[in-house]
């Protein structure tokens, strides 16, 4: 969520396919919903990789012509979860334009491959790996793919997340929905860091960017209790991770988006009452763009934010600062 939330709906990154294409589009905003391949579970118990697991150093990057200058992520290896569409795809394209080699991780193969194709068409370098971020074995394999493909890992962008349609108030949200949202949105970030941190250490350090949400900072009368709780957990996890690894060359920061324009959001805005109830709270009077959030993520991923760790960067069009919005 990557995330484009206005009230009850969020643009999220792709995870395991749901039971029907219609439900999947509404809850996960999959751009290529007609091409879905279930993920196969890998056998054996998962284990945490150690610093010495990957012995080869980061290979020198072959410049592709995507940019004729040294970018802010030049020669860096970036892993982005939920990179098949929306904010994840925008970040993949921007990071590649800044010199990064991008590992596109997504549960929907067609969407992830489309992002890789877009990066390559622009002259960048990218590879795809299928993953359900709530599955430890698949997350471990995802990090292994980054290390074996490009010889290192320097930026981990935990962007994936979900908001099911039945995530509502504390009385109405089904327990199974609560469990699944926490499993993906919070456990998924935990697993990404669990397997990503040793790879970052083996690569000489780097940056972790975890996507939270403005709803982790503010309450809403249009509730999404599981989603809100999960994103609050991401903030707490990020702070603790940042302090633990601050003297080991790893920075960790959280990104809190407000409403970000996606096809689903634009569909919902066709309902005048739905739009009125939500857009009035955005002082800038419009949703954000995926590219705007990607630029904020680039700042946290790059050395431009070299003295920032444990911080929360809010990109919400002024929502969290407002008491009364302009007319």
Q: Which of left, alpha, beta for 116 (phi over 0: left; psi -120 to 50: alpha)?
A: alpha
CA angle 104, 294, 80 (to 5 degrees): 20
> SS3 of 224, please?
coil
Q: How many CB atoms lie within 10 A of CB 100?
A: 33
Question: Is 245 annotated as catalytic?
Answer: no
Both tokens assigned to 105: 């991780």
Please give the helix or strand (H or E) that residue 284 lies within, else none.
none
Q: What whole-number distance in Å separates Cα of residue 266 and Cα of residue 268? A: 5
Q: What whole-number distance in Å separates Cα of residue 232 and Cα of residue 212? A: 7
Residue 321 phi/psi, 5-degree rounding, is: -100, -10
Q: What whole-number distance in Å separates Cα of residue 308 and Cα of residue 162? A: 27
Q: List C-alpha distances in Å: 77 to 5, 83, 235, 289, 294.
A: 29, 15, 24, 25, 16
Burial class (CB in 10 A: 0-12, 13-18, 19+), 68: exposed
Q: What whole-number distance in Å separates Cα of residue 212 and Cα of residue 72? A: 23
Q: Which of 150, 157, 195, 227 is catalytic?
A: 227
Q: Which of left, alpha, beta for 82 (phi over 0: left; psi -120 to 50: alpha)?
A: left
Both tokens assigned to 91: 């970040």
Q: How many CB atoms lie within 10 A of CB 220?
A: 17
Q: Which residues contact 304 (CB under 8 A, 6 or more apart)?
A: 72, 298
Look-up of token digits 């592709």? 64
**Hey, which residues are catalytic here?**
227
């Amino acid at each position: 969520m990557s995330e484009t939330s206005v009230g009850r709906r969020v643009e999220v990154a792709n995870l395991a396919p749901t039971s029907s294409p219609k439900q999947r589009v509404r809850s996960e905003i999959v751009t290529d919903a007609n091409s879905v391949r279930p993920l196969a579970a890998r056998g054996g118990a998962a284990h945490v990789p150690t610093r010495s697991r990957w012995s080869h150093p980061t290979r020198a990057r072959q410049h592709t012509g995507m940019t004729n200058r040294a970018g802010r992520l030049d020669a860096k290896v970036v892993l982005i979860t939920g990179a098949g569409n929306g904010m994840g795809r925008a970040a993949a394209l921007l990071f590649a334009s800044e010199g990064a080699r991008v590992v596109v991780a997504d549960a929907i193969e067609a969407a992830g491959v489309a992002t890789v194709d877009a990066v390559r068409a622009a002259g960048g370098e990218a590879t795809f790996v299928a993953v359900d971020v709530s599955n430890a074995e698949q997350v471990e394999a995802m990090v292994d793919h980054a290390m074996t493909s490009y010889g290192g890992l320097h930026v981990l962008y935990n962007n994936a997340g979900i908001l099911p349609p039945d995530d509502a108030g504390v009385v109405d949200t089904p327990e199974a929905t609560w469990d699944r949202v926490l499993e993906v949105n919070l456990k998924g970030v935990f697993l990404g860091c669990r397997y990503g941190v040793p790879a970052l250490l083996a690569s000489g350090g780097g940056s972790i960017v975890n996507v939270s949400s403005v709803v982790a900072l503010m309450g809403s009368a249009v509730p999404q209790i599981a989603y809100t709780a999960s994103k609050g957990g991401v903030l707490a996890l990020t702070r603790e991770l940042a302090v633990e690894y601050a003297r080991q060359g790893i920075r960790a920061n959280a990104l809190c988006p407000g409403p970000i324009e996606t096809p689903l959001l634009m569909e919902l805005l066709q309902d005048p009452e739905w739009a009125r109830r939500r857009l009035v709270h955005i002082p800038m009077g419009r949703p954000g763009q995926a590219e705007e959030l990607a630029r904020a993520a680039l700042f946290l991923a790059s050395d431009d934010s070299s003295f920032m760790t444990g911080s929360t960067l809010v990109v919400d069009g002024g929502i969290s600062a407002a008491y009364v919005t302009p007319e």
